[in-house]
Amino acid sequence: MSTPEGTATNSWSAAEDTAHNPPAKPIQIKVVLLGEAAVGKSSLVLRFVNDDFVENKEPTIGAAFMTQKVRLDDSVLKLDIWDTAGQERFHSLAPMYYRNAQAALVVYDITRASSLDRAKSWIKELERQANPNIVVALVGNKLDLASPATDTPAEEEGEEGEASSANEEANNDEEEGKSRQVPTEVARSYAESMNLLFLETSAKTGEGVVEVFTEITKKIDLSKLPSARRGNRGDQLNAGNVNVNMLGDGGLNGDGQAREGADGCAC
């Protein structure tokens, strides 16, 4: 069990360490979430920061902001997480949030093939306008809705087969959103071709959520960040073990309102 921040297990050693090695200021990392509306961006952030999930969450208006501290080896990183609205009318605001971001999660819904197409558009936009060193992860959310692929017996030729084909086409829209529509390998192949991180997650169950934030954190070259250089930490920060969810640093409560202690805008 980890010791809460500010609680010393050995008062003498803690005091000595403070005298000779004062705690370093957390390194700030800006993370932005992009993707079509209703793919679960807000739910991913809520699960990561508060370990919570809200059914039928209200759509984000503009953008929402939350923070979480994680530990990378001997250093503390503060993730400033910007959750952007997916509605088209807010698209023009997105550059305000991904500008100067060190990492981006581009999220799609594995039960909606169209959301992957939209994710690809976001990735192209990041290539053109974002920080050239930005770490991008393609994230397929709603893994809890995936069901194992099953073989469907071939229909006999003739009227029965034609009717089945017509019914399948007519029900495409109904099926979308209820079961997997984006095969894992299709999305993974695209991510590899674009040199992106790739993970599938479920904000509802928590599967893969910590891992995706862990992986992007480990890929960022922290030695190039202004806050890291000021701390004179050097190459020891470029890789290592990440301990996530050690400190909740404020953000939004379950109703989407700012919680006490939440940081202000750091666009």
Residue 188, Cβ neighbours under 10 Å: how many?
16
Share of the chain residues as helix, strand and coil, in percent rounded to the nearest 5: 35, 20, 40
Identify whether 265 is part of a domain: no
Q: What does the block give as tokens for 10?
A: 């050995």
The per-residue b/e assignment along 211-224, b for 16 or more CB within 10 angstroms, e otherwise, is ebbbbbbbebebee
Backbone angles phi, psi at 29, to 5 degrees: -130, 125
Q: Which segments of the chain are extended strands (E)?
A: 27-35, 63-72, 75-84, 103-109, 135-141, 197-200, 242-248
**Least confidently predicted of 20-24, 89-93, 158-162:** 158-162
Domain holding 95, by residue range, is: 23-144+157-248
Identify whether 150 is part of a domain: no
Q: What's residue 25's pLDDT?
A: 86
Backbone angles phi, psi at 246, to 5 degrees: -75, -30
Cα 30 vs. chain centroid, distance in angstroms? 12
pTM equals 0.72
Residue found by looking up tokens 């890291």 in the block:
228
194 contacts 137 by C-beta, under 8 angstroms: no
102 contacts 134 by C-beta, under 8 angstroms: yes
Identify whether 105 is part of a domain: yes
Identify whether 2 is part of a domain: no
Higher pLDDT, 79 or 244: 79
Identify whether 196 is part of a domain: yes
Please tell me the distance from the alpha carbon of residue 204 to that of residue 166, in angstroms, as a whole number. 34
The per-residue b/e assignment along 150-181, b for 16 or more CB within 10 angstroms, e otherwise, is eeeeeeeeeeeeeeeeeeeeeeeeeeeeeebb
218 contacts 242 by C-beta, under 8 angstroms: yes
Of all residues in the chain, what percent carry a pLDDT higher than 90?
55
Identify whether 12 is part of a domain: no
Q: What's residue 256's pLDDT?
A: 39
Question: In terms of C-beta density within 10 A (0-12 exposed, 13-18 middle, 19 or more buried), how is residue 231 classed?
Answer: middle
Write the CATH number for 212: 3.40.50.300
Give yes or no for residue 2 having a pLDDT over 60: no
Q: Which segments of 98-181 are extended strands (E)?
A: 103-109, 135-141
Instruction: Please give the average per-residue pLDDT across 133-144, as a whole number.
Output: 97
Q: What's residue 176's pLDDT?
A: 60
Identify whether 255 is part of a domain: no
Higher pLDDT, 147 or 157: 147
Please tell me the distance from the alpha carbon of residue 7 to that of residue 154, in angstroms, as a whole number. 65
Q: What's residue 158's pLDDT?
A: 47
Q: What's residue 5's pLDDT?
A: 41
Q: What total number of domains does the chain contain?
A: 1
pLDDT tens-digit readout, 173-211: 445 667 999 999 999 999 999 999 999 999 999 999 999
**Least confidently predicted of 39-53, 100-114, 225-239:** 225-239
Q: What's residue 150's pLDDT?
A: 38
Residue 120, Cβ neighbours under 10 Å: how many?
16
Identify whether 254 is part of a domain: no
pLDDT tens-digit readout, 206-264: 999 999 999 999 999 988 887 665 554 433 334 445 555 445 554 433 343 433 334 43
Give 102's Cβ-side CA count (13 Å radius): 24
